[in-house]
Amino acid sequence: MLNRFKKPFLGLFLCLLGGLSFAQSGRFQQSVNYEMEVFMDVETNQYEGKQKLVYSNNSPDTLHRVFYHLYYNAFQPGSMMDVRSRTIADPDRRVGDRIANLSPEEIGYLHVSNLTVNGKPAQAVEVGTILEVNLPEPILPNSQAVLELDFNGQVPIQIRRSGRDSAEGVRYSMSQWYPKLANYDEQGWHANPYIGREFYGIWGDFDVKITIDKTYTIGGTGYLQNPNEIGHGYEDAGVIVPEPAGNTLTWHFKAPMVHDFMWGADPKYQHDKVVMDNGITVHHFFIPGEKTSENWEKLKEFTPKAIAYMSEHFGQYPYKQFSVVQGGDGGMEYAMSTLVTGERSLPSLVGVMVHELAHSWYHGVLATNESLYPWMDEGFTSYATNLTMGAIFPRREGNVHQGSYRGYISLALSGLEEPMSTHSDHYHTNRAYSSAAYSKGAVFMEQLGYVIGADVRDRGLLRYFNTWKFKHPNVNDLIRIMEKESGIELDWYKEYFVYSTKTIDYAIKEVKANGDKTELTLQRIGLMPMPLDVVITYKDGSQEMIYLPLVIMRGEKGEEAGAPKRIHTEDWPWVNLEKTLVIDRKMDSIKSIEIDPSKRLADVQPENNKVEL
C-alpha cells in the first residue's frame, strides 16, 4: 500500500465508507477495529496474544455465524495447502513437498481460545485454516459486536510468504499471523481455506503491541507510537533512547484504514529512513552484507521516485509511510509495506520493490477480492510496474508491456488457458493462474487503451482509483468507469477477454489493384472481435489510418496522439468474417499495410497482420 501525508484524507475516507450513495447502490461494507497484544518468544518461536475486535455489521443481514482465518495451520503435513502443493501438475518449487516433511517444531499453527462475543462465550470449531464460530446471539444489521479472544501460535519454518529463518537468514516474516476475520459482502462470506494464493480483508484501524527480545528491529505496517522509547532507527533526531529495563521491548503500532497487518523482525536489520518532500517516510530494513548493502543503499533513491511517479499516474498514495522489509520468499505486498528477498541485483531489487509498491494501489487501497479477481490486482499491478520501471529505471528501448503480451500469448497458444474469472485457488495449473493474473491482466489494461484511446484509459484509471478507493471494486465497477469516461460500450470486452479464452486473430487477406484504387480485404480468424487500426504506409513515407470500430461499441475512440491521420472510419459488425475496403490511391504508391502497428492488440498470430507490397 501507499502512503498519504495529510490527516484530513483519512477522515474523508471514513465518511465515504458510510456514504449514502454507496448504500443506495445495494453495496455495503463491514468494518473492523483490531486491538492486539502479542508476546513473541524468540527461543521457541511461539507467540501468545490477545485480540479485541469491534465488528460493525453494515449489511442488511442478521449474522448468526462468523469465520476467522487461521493461516498458519496451512503449514502442517496433510493440510489442504500441503496436498494441493504436492498434487498440482506444475508445483511451486518454493513449496513442493516441504510442508509434508515438517517436524512438530517446524510446523506452523494458530489456535484460538476464550472466544467471547459481547462478553458471552461463543462456540467455535477449527477446520484447518478456518475457525467457524456460532454466535451466542446474532449480530443485527447496522449494529456492532465486540469479539474477544486469546490466541497462541508457532511460526513455521519459512515456506511460503511468511515464516521464520528464511533462506536469507531473516528471523521473522510475520504475515498472516493473527486470527483474521473473514470478509462478508454482497456475495456473502469469503471463508476460503488457505491453499495457495491471495487474500481479501476488511478495512479498519489496527492497534498492535508487539513484545519481543530487545535486540530485534521491527519493520512493517503502521506508525510506531513510541519511537523515542524504542529507538532502532525510529527515534527522532538527537534523541537519546534509554536502555530498556528488561530483556524485551514492547513496540506499539497504529495503522488506520488497512485490511492487514504485517511485521518483519530481525536482530541484524539495518534500518534506513528517507523522508520525502511530501512528508511520506520510506523505511528500508535489510541485513547488511556483500549481497545486500550496496544495492539497498541505491534503493533509497528509487523507492521515493516510484511513490512519486505512481501517485501522479495512478492516484495519491494515502498513507504516511512505506516500508521495504527484507524477508519472505520473493516479494509480497502488505499494508504500507512489503516483504522482499534482498540478495538481488539492482534491477531485480528495484523491480520487485516497484511491483510490491504498485500493489498498494490495487491490493491495498482498491482491494478487489483477489481470490475472485486476481487479475485486477496482479494484472493492474504488473501494468503499473511496467510503466513505472520504464520511467524511473530505463533499461531498454521499446514497449514496456512487451513481456506481458508475450506471457499472455504464450499461454493462449499453450492450450492451458482458463478464463480470468477463475477463482485463484481453482486454476488447474500454476502457470494458467500466473500468466492469466499477471500477464493477461496487464494486457487487459494496455489493450483497453487501444480500444478507447490511451489518454482516455489513463483518465479512467485515475477516476477508477478515486471513485473506488477503500470500496472493494469488482470487474463491473471498473468497466462502468471506463464506459463513462470513454462513451464507449465495453461489456463485450469484459465478456470475451475476462470470461472466455477466445483469442484475437485478424489478418490481411488480400490487397489488389482496382484501376486507380486499391482493394483491401481483411479477415477475422480469431473468435474475439476487436476494433481495428489499419495503417497504410506509402512509398513517399507518409502514413494514413483506416479505423474500424465494432458496431457493439456504440461509439468510437478519438484521434490518438502520434497516430497517423484517419482517412476513413467504418463500423465492422462482428458477425462478418471479412471486410473489403477501397483505398483511394494506386496500389503501386503503397509500401505496406499493417493492422495495429502500435502492437497493443493482443493478436495471437501477428505474422498475418502486415503486407509489404
**Minimum distance of Zn ion from residue 280's CB (angstroms):** 21
**Minimum distance of Zn ion from residue 378's CB (angstroms):** 5
Stretch that binds Zn ion, among 81-89, 119-127, 375-383, 526-534 (CB under 5 A): 375-383
Q: How far apart are CA 451 and CA 275, in angstroms?
A: 40
Stretch that binds Zn ion, among 84-92, 220-228, 371-379, 546-554 (CB under 5 A): 371-379
- For residues 173-232, which are near Zn ion according to CB under 5 A? none
**Minimum distance of Zn ion from residue 73's CB (angstroms):** 24
Q: How many CB atoms lie within 10 A of CB 62?
A: 12
Q: How far apart are CA 452 and CA 114, in angstroms?
A: 56
Cell digits of residue 334: 502488505
**Minimum distance of Zn ion from residue 354's CB (angstroms):** 11
Q: How far apart are CA 257 and CA 57, in angstroms?
A: 17
**Minimum distance of Zn ion from residue 385's CB (angstroms):** 8
**Minimum distance of Zn ion from residue 390's CB (angstroms):** 18
Q: Considering the complex, state which of residue 13 and residue 199 has its C-beta at the smaller distance from Zn ion.
A: 199
- By CB atoms closer than 10 A (0-12, 13-18, 19+), residue 431 is middle
Q: Considering the complex, state which of residue 82 and residue 378 has its C-beta at the smaller distance from Zn ion.
A: 378
Q: Considering the complex, state which of residue 378 and residue 477 has its C-beta at the smaller distance from Zn ion.
A: 378
Helices (H), 469-510: 475-486, 491-497
Q: Considering the complex, state which of residue 435 and residue 486 has its C-beta at the smaller distance from Zn ion.
A: 435
- For residues 406-425, which are near Zn ion according to CB under 5 A? none
Paired residues of 246 in beta bridges: none
**Minimum distance of Zn ion from residue 358's CB (angstroms):** 8
Q: Considering the complex, state which of residue 378 and residue 560 has its C-beta at the smaller distance from Zn ion.
A: 378
The helix (H) or strand (E) run that includes residue 68 is strand 63-69
Q: Considering the complex, state which of residue 378 and residue 556 has its C-beta at the smaller distance from Zn ion.
A: 378
Stretch that binds Zn ion, among 37-45, 73-81, 370-378, 447-455 (CB under 5 A): 370-378
Instruction: For residue 534, give the nearest of 506, 498, 501, 494 by alpha carbon.
Output: 506
Distances in Å between the Cα of 195 and the Cα atoms of 47, 74, 344 are 23, 7, 28
**Minimum distance of Zn ion from residue 362's CB (angstroms):** 9
Q: Considering the complex, state which of residue 378 and residue 594 has its C-beta at the smaller distance from Zn ion.
A: 378
The 8-class DSSP code of residue 411 comes to H
Stretch that binds Zn ion, among 111-119, 373-381, 446-454, 509-517 (CB under 5 A): 373-381
Stretch that binds Zn ion, among 69-77, 160-168, 376-384, 572-580 (CB under 5 A): 376-384
Q: Considering the complex, state which of residue 378 and residue 483 has its C-beta at the smaller distance from Zn ion.
A: 378
Q: Considering the complex, state which of residue 205 and residue 378 has its C-beta at the smaller distance from Zn ion.
A: 378
Helices (H), 48-96: 80-87
CB 254 within 8 Å of CB 200: no
Q: How far apart are CA 359 and CA 338, in angstroms?
A: 9
**Minimum distance of Zn ion from residue 543's CB (angstroms):** 38
Q: How far apart are CA 437 and CA 217, in angstroms?
A: 35
Q: Considering the complex, state which of residue 77 and residue 390 has its C-beta at the smaller distance from Zn ion.
A: 390
Q: How far apart are CA 29 and CA 55, in angstroms?
A: 11
Strands 204-213 and 31-41: parallel
Helices (H), 47-122: 80-87
Q: How far apart are CA 156 and CA 14, in angstroms?
A: 36
Cβ-closest position to Zn ion? 378
Binding mask 427-466 for Zn ion (x = CB under 5 A): ----------------------------------------
Paired residues of 283 in beta bridges: 273, 323
Torsion over CA: 411, 416, 418, 424 (sign)? negative
Binding mask 328-367 for Zn ion (x = CB under 5 A): ----------------------------------------
Q: How far apart are CA 567 and CA 203, in angstroms?
A: 51
Cell digits of residue 392: 524511473
Q: Considering the complex, state which of residue 425 and residue 556 has its C-beta at the smaller distance from Zn ion.
A: 425
Distances in Å between the Cα of 56 and the Cα atoms of 140, 366, 476, 598 are 10, 20, 26, 49
Q: How far apart are CA 252 and CA 236, in angstroms?
A: 16
Q: By CB under 5 A, how many residues form the interface with Zn ion?
A: 1
Stretch that binds Zn ion, among 181-189, 286-294, 301-309, 377-385 (CB under 5 A): 377-385
**Minimum distance of Zn ion from residue 548's CB (angstroms):** 36
Binding mask 77-96 for Zn ion (x = CB under 5 A): --------------------
Q: Considering the complex, state which of residue 3 and residue 434 has its C-beta at the smaller distance from Zn ion.
A: 434
Q: How far is CA 583 from the centre of its chain?
A: 46
The helix (H) or strand (E) run that includes residue 14 is helix 7-17
The strands making up 565-569's β-sheet, listed across from edge to edge, are: 565-569, 543-548, 532-538, 590-595, 610-612
**Minimum distance of Zn ion from residue 359's CB (angstroms):** 6
**Minimum distance of Zn ion from residue 381's CB (angstroms):** 5
Q: Considering the complex, state which of residue 198 and residue 533 has its C-beta at the smaller distance from Zn ion.
A: 198
Residues that bind Zn ion (CB under 5 A): 378
